[in-house]
Structure 1
């Protein structure tokens, strides 16, 4: 991993065997478990600075989905969102994680919250950053986005231009833009076109899984009374504040931390504030 910036990401790597492939994860610190589940086109790297601040008092575990980060990226694999959730379930079972504070972002929302709905006894708290848990079929922004998702050019853009990390990710930031040095850490895990099918599958999931997302919302009662913290980048150009409003309506025991200048990746844009908000939430400050 000659491209990996160890000054930014100084953690030792761990691997979990699943479906004949290796899933990379971090396991830092001691204490109650905080489990981080990333979205696309990211990996555990985007939580690195939050983990550095929380690991002195908590056990911070962060996975890289198969197809992302330092995990294996087979060309042919079941990259469905549902299978990522099953993999998370297998990981939690194997590692015997209990009393979990589950931190989810973007596609980590449906992946992680589906697991939580099925195993509420394992979940102590929820921390949700710029995500969703319902169908967006009627949302005007999604209707516009779906035209691009249906384009026959989409596989070409993802496989040959590494479109998601190189173009979509930097456009989703708020006031604090990502540097070229850091952007490289998001693009380089997808070094070859055969390693980019995981990100492409998430784009297709937006088109094909809206009914499943809605089913999760209808089943949220299993976790809706868990203490929840919503950390929201208010300048997210895609997952806007109305998504936050809907989440809050379905989780009555929740707190909200609005980040007015952050976009879709508050944990990358303002990690100090995200870490402080999570720490205060977990310690009752």
Structure 2
């Protein structure tokens, strides 16, 4: 595929790869050789969010980072369900098609439940788990998040997301503790793939899924013992304004054996602490 004109090839110098799924063409990065690391993004981001880690780690490892359907350079079909469960199925197809073995799985935001779903289904193929500002349980007790998700499921919320680009324009900046990391150029790389209402369907469905996919999230949490023997590292931006800090406490209670590193950064810790996150992953591997 050809690069869009807005894509800065210095910031994002990676070759384009695609696979055909039943619902559309999925774009992914595949850089370097060695142990495979699979990076799974959330919303409203895409593989671009992992660029600093891919540049550093692809010198010694094979770095694979897909764009979910509806995000980044992947297709944005109107007839795709856009549930986290459906994205998880797509991720599994990609890993299977690339025949990746003994992967290190790096997950963030909605990429947490999406990526960890693969780990539950194929724990024998996951060598390590690296978890950044995410969850894998029902958020029904997070009253504020449930209230917002219910609102976004309505006509006004849908209008905000689809017509006004609420997620990349308003929520994304709130995910940064130090706004200097969200330069105008970087911000454009999150706005451009979501430049019209049709292309924003994925972001809206994720907002709705905070509540609507609660049963699926809960089903993942019930299986957490399957992950017990997999080495884990948690890298957490403790200035996160989008996810409450007590989610980190739930991770630590569930997996006290996990290595935990806290950073003075917001939700998009891999953007604000790019080099430190890359070094932490490299050391862990």
TM class by shorter chain equals: over 0.9
Shift of 1:75: 2.2
* 1:117-161 deviation digits (Å, cap 9, x = unpaired): 011011000001000011111124324434533442111111111
Q: Which residue does 1:250 correspond to in 2? A: 254
Residues in 2 aligned to 1:223 and 1:138: alpha-carbon distance in whole angstroms: 24
Residues in 2 aligned to 1:163 and 1:201: alpha-carbon distance in whole angstroms: 13
**70-79 or 126-135, larger mean C-alpha shift:** 70-79
Q: Please tell me whether the aligned partners of residues 225 and 252 of structure 1 are also in contact (alpha carbons under 8 angstroms).
A: no
Q: Which residue does 1:83 correspond to in 2? A: 86
Whether 1:202 aligns to 2:206 is yes
Q: 1:189 aligns with which of 175, 189, 193?
A: 193
Q: Please tell me whether the aligned partners of residues 174 and 236 of structure 1 are also in contact (alpha carbons under 8 angstroms).
A: yes
User: Over aligned residue pairs, what C-alpha RMSD do you find?
Assistant: 1.3
Q: Please tell me whether the aligned partners of residues 100 and 125 of structure 1 are also in contact (alpha carbons under 8 angstroms).
A: yes
Report how many residues are paired: 281
Shift of 1:65: 0.4
Gap runs ≥5 in structure 1: none
Gap runs ≥5 in structure 2: none
Q: Please tell me whether the aligned partners of residues 25 and 61 of structure 1 are also in contact (alpha carbons under 8 angstroms).
A: yes
Shift of 1:30: 0.7
Whether 1:110 aligns to 2:113 is yes
Q: Which residue does 2:271 correspond to in 1? A: 268
Q: 1:219 to 1:39 in 2, by over 3 A?
A: same
Residues in 1 aligned to 2:257 and 2:40: alpha-carbon distance in whole angstroms: 22
Residues in 2 aligned to 1:147 and 1:155: alpha-carbon distance in whole angstroms: 11
Q: Which residue does 1:61 correspond to in 2? A: 64
Q: 2:54 aligns with which of 51, 54, 65?
A: 51
Query: What's the TM-score once normalised by structure 1's chain length?
Result: 0.95
Query: What's the TM-score once normalised by structure 2's chain length?
Result: 0.95
Q: Which residue does 1:163 correspond to in 2? A: 166
